[in-house]
Structure 1
Amino acid sequence: MDRHNMSWVRYPSQVSPAVEDVIAAQSVTSRCTHVYVAVCVPLSLAAGLFSLSVFVRDRARLGALDRLLASLTVTSILVTLLSLNAATRPDYMHTTNLGCGALSFFSNVCYFTAQYLQGATLVLTLLPGSSGCRLLARPVASLAAIGGCAVCSSLILVSLLGTSGELHATTMCQVDPLTAWPEYEIVKFSLGFALALTFQVSLFFLRAMQPAWRAAPAQGDTASGRWVVLAVALNMLACRLFFNAVLLHRAQLKLRKDIGTPRDELLMNLAELALSAESCSNSAFVALLHTPCRLRLRGLLERLTQRCRQGLDNNMALNRAGG
């Protein structure tokens, strides 16, 4: 059988005779999805829109790191909106192969953009004064290069979906389509995780081996953004490590001509939710740890506290007067 003939692929929940395992897996998927939609989605949108408003107000004073974090915030908001396609899980969205390919393309553009932006923030933080920092100081050119690389990477993945001859056929869709060729998962792992992880390890190695970069003074926004860059890096590493491990496992099943078990389907759904929750955490880290956003948030909370106290004092005064 041709390994590119994926007509045999089915979701285990649709064909598995282990009814109890299917029900248990779908119950876990449903509960986790409800928690994500009820908690992570509002938090991500609120934190992302707040941080974005701060960046827009201070646009005249934004440094190189501020621009990268602002772009990462926009990407996180888009990921959160695109992740709403999973709100009906354990049921999958029914659409055409063309629509599913479009969803996969735009989701992967955000996926790669976030990864490349995070690598750029590490360059600014770990290697101040390097030639890479001078290139990133050109906001239009650097963001255009990052976006171009993300679009090219996503186009490569779209070419591996294997649905070009059946664009109008109906299918059950998720961000990483089940019927994609095994190369889809392997290439996504290589471009979106393995290559990025190798680059990040190289940055830490260069930082340790070059005393000049360790002693070089960082720019103001870079120095104040070290904690948020570190938090985002660790968060993305944890979420993407789990996601890519499950993604490679699915590719292994396809190469063995095995549809897997309901547990394998459950792991893929949880990995997809974890990847979406990554954007929620990134938005929260930017809002809470990046100095301009943190100061604006603190000021907002102080004003709300003062208004609440004034309202409480007025109510107490009226009660005393009425008594």
Structure 2
Amino acid sequence: MASQNMTWLSYPSKNFASTSPEEIEAFIASQNIISRLMHCYIAFFVPTGLTAGICILIVFIKNYLQHKSMEQLDLLLLHFTISNIIMIFLSLTVIPRPDYLKATRLACSVLSFFFNFSYFNSQYVLLFILLILLLKRFLPMTALCKATQNPVSCVAFVLIYAFCLSLTEAVLVGTDNYHVETECQSDPLFARPEYEIIKFTFGFGIPAFLQILSFIVLFAKKAPAEAEDLWQHIRTYTAVFIISITIFICHLFYNVMILFRTTLKLQKSIGTPTNELMMNIAEIVLFSESCATLVFILCFHKPCKERILQVIHNCRRRNTTHNHLEIPVAYNP
């Protein structure tokens, strides 16, 4: 590994000293792209994601108060929703782009800890959701099946596991010059190369492998005769499968950029403005995925969809009733 001293690192946009007109134009163009993407994300994705997240919370809470219980899948999706709402609030750190948030290294490390906690949290909750869907289809009477009967235990395990991974990442960010002000990103530039390697391995490599394995089992394994049809099973849990595919695609792009940044660190290079642009795009894509998955839950998860349709139906019926009650009064001179 490279030296643990990362003080030489800086963003290409902070060290742009080229006199070439072509390079200056490319630099200005990349800054404009970052700025426009940030404005698009803040103006469209953030309000949409937060609105969808709040609606999901209201639906799940009302259903719980009505039935005094909550299904396994709903509890895990509630946990997933809360993680993504926290991720959206943390994503507001992109507001200064194309510049970066100014903070001390210690504050940046704390921000990174909470970002990684939400990141790992949502990733591994999704794996438990996919596992439960597999068990619902194949119905094996195994110890694994019995272990997942208590969703609270699953949530507790994910929280502890995500906390340990996030704490490890916080240590790898480093504590050198903790009081010095720096340009801060969710994944700090000054973190040691091991930071990105562990994040790729445990935040994408292992979860992606398990996701792909679950899909292979779903499509390749023969289900019991009493199990519902495969495509009916997919239609029943459309939200989960759409979310899984969306997360895989967005996290793939993001983690490829993370690994590429690691190679630059190992080569003792700060990269080019284009490299910086791609990393910023990857970060905004990751945050946009958190917003999109909440919209998918609201639109495709059955309890949420039914509640939304019920609200729309009640509003239409109320408007119709109101219009019918507006009877004109005859004029008597």
Instruction: Provide the TM-score with structure 1 as the length reference.
Output: 0.90
Aligned to 1:90: 98
Aligned to 1:291: 302
State the AA in 2 paired with 1:21. A
Aligned to 2:29: 24
Aligned length: 316
- The answer to whether the aligner puts 1:172 opposite 2:183 as a matched pair is yes
User: Matched residues in 2 for 1:121 and 1:35: separation?
Assistant: 31
**Structure 2 counterpart SS, 1:61:** coil
State the AA in 1 paired with 2:263. Q
Q: Which runs of 5+ in 1 are unaligned?
A: none
User: Matched residues in 2 for 1:102 and 1:19: separation?
Assistant: 35
Comparing 122-131 and 96-105, the one that deviates more: 122-131
* RMSD of equivalent CA atoms: 2.4
* Match for residue 280 of structure 1 among 257, 276, 291: 291
Task: Kindly indicate whether the alpha-carbon contact (under 8 Å) linking 2:246 and 2:289 is maintained by their aligned counterparts in 1.
Answer: yes
- The answer to whether the aligner puts 1:125 opposite 2:133 as a matched pair is yes
Structure with higher Rg: it is 2
User: Matched residues in 1 for 2:33 and 2:323: separation?
Assistant: 44
State the AA in 2 paired with 1:102. V
User: Matched residues in 1 for 2:234 and 2:89: separation?
Assistant: 32
* Match for residue 198 of structure 1 among 191, 201, 209: 209
C-alpha distance after superposition, 1:189-218 (max 9, x if no partner): 000100011112222344455435685469
**Structure 2 counterpart SS, 1:260:** coil
Instruction: Provide the TM-score with structure 2 as the length reference.
Output: 0.88
* Match for residue 260 of structure 1 among 240, 258, 271: 271
* Match for residue 157 of structure 1 among 169, 174, 181: 169
**Structure 2 counterpart SS, 1:211:** coil
User: Matched residues in 2 for 1:311 and 1:88: separation?
Assistant: 48
**Structure 2 counterpart SS, 1:95:** strand
* Match for residue 72 of structure 1 among 80, 87, 97: 80
C-alpha distance after superposition, 1:124-170 (max 9, x if no partner): 112333443432221221110011111111111111112x1322111
State the AA in 2 paired with 1:68. L
> How far is 1:316 from its partner?
10
User: Matched residues in 2 for 1:178 and 1:213: separation?
Assistant: 51
Sort the Cα spacing of 1:246 and 1:311 in 2 relative to 1 into closer, same or farther, 3 A.
farther
Task: Kindly indicate whether the alpha-carbon contact (under 8 Å) linking 1:224 and 1:290 is maintained by their aligned counterparts in 2.
Answer: no
Aligned to 1:240: 251
C-alpha distance after superposition, 1:211-262 (max 9, x if no partner): 35685469xxx88752111011011011101100111111111111111111
Sort the Cα spacing of 1:13 and 1:311 in 2 relative to 1 into closer, same or farther, 3 A.
farther
- The answer to whether the aligner puts 1:36 opposite 2:41 as a matched pair is yes
State the AA in 2 paired with 1:151. F
C-alpha distance after superposition, 1:260-293 (max 9, x if no partner): 1111111111111111011111100110001110
Task: Kindly indicate whether the alpha-carbon contact (under 8 Å) linking 1:126 and 1:213 is maintained by their aligned counterparts in 2.
Answer: no
Aligned to 2:147: 135
Task: Kindly indicate whether the alpha-carbon contact (under 8 Å) linking 2:234 and 2:241 is maintained by their aligned counterparts in 1.
Answer: no
Aligned to 2:3: 3
> How far is 1:301 from its partner?
1.9
C-alpha distance after superposition, 1:73-97 (max 9, x if no partner): 1111111111001111111110111
